[in-house]
Amino acid sequence: MTADVQWSLSWIRDVAARVSERKSEFTTLDREIGDADHGENLNRGFTAVVERIDGLEQPPGTIGDVLKLVATTLMSTVGGASGPLYGTAFLRASKAAAVPELDGQAASALISAALEGVSTRGKAVVGEKTMIDAWAPAAAAAAQSAENGEDAAQVFAAAAQAAAQGAEETIELKATKGRASYLGERSVGHKDPGATTTALILESAARTVQ
Ligand code: ADP
Ligand code: MG
Ligand code: MG
């Protein structure tokens, strides 16, 4: 599938399906270093997103239109830290993707914009055991892939792989932002829930565009 408007709808539906399947895994991660609601938070948000997609009266004109619907729905339904963070990520991404189809450069720009949104909103930097530890390596890998002339499918695949690795590497980190930072050293040894769901979002993008 080319990375067009139809793909963006498939991507978001796939995210919703995977979040629903894996929500107890995310809540378990959040039980270790947070307040045990990350799976429910995201599931509530993406369930509402799918309802809004199903209710659309006419097909969206651009990928940005789809991502903006995701952003506003997550902001109004998720709550917690991750609602505004993912909401801002998708809002910035929507502005970067105001086109009917993505090439490799545009796919990379979408991911960089999402990273910028999360950074601006949450003020975390790499190494603080947050979703930034997945978004940042993903954006770097995407930029490198686009630079090499690769297409959107390859860019998302590179980003997904880097995000998954970044999420894995949060296990060794001590949290200094968000709720997990209250645990200090005791946050070490647990995987960050938000970094894990960021990897899911990018894995869904890569899988659906193949
Ligand atoms: P809450 O912590 O309010 O219960 P969630 O459980 O839904 O919200 O989301 C927690 C996730 O949010 C964390 O695992 C982390 O990845 C992310 N997070 C929290 N604070 C920040 C921040 N300042 N910057 C980036 N990500 C953050
Ligand atoms: Mg939580
Ligand atoms: Mg909470």
d(CA 123, CA 166): 18
Closest protein CA for atom 13 of ligand 1:
194
Judge contact between 210 and 1, C-beta under 8 A. yes
Burial 132-146 (b: 16+ CB within 10 A, else e): bbbbbbbbbbbbebb
Ligand 1 interacting residues, C-beta cut-off 6 A: 30, 34-35, 37-38, 41, 80-82, 85, 118, 122-124, 130-132, 177-179, 192-195
Answer whether 0.90 is exceeded by the pTM.
Answer: yes
Cα(156) to ligand 2 centroid in Å equals 27
Question: How many domains would you assign to the chain?
Answer: 1
Q: What is the CATH number of the domain that holds 155?
A: 1.25.40.340
Write out the residue range of the structural domain in which residue 34 sits: 5-209
Q: Specify the DSSP class assigned to residue 172.
A: G
pLDDT of residue 210: 82
pLDDT 10s digits, 47-59: 999 999 999 999 9
- Residues 6+ away with beta carbon under 8 Å from 44: 77, 78
What percent of the chain clears pLDDT 70, i.e. is strictly above it? 100
d(CA 168, CA 166): 5
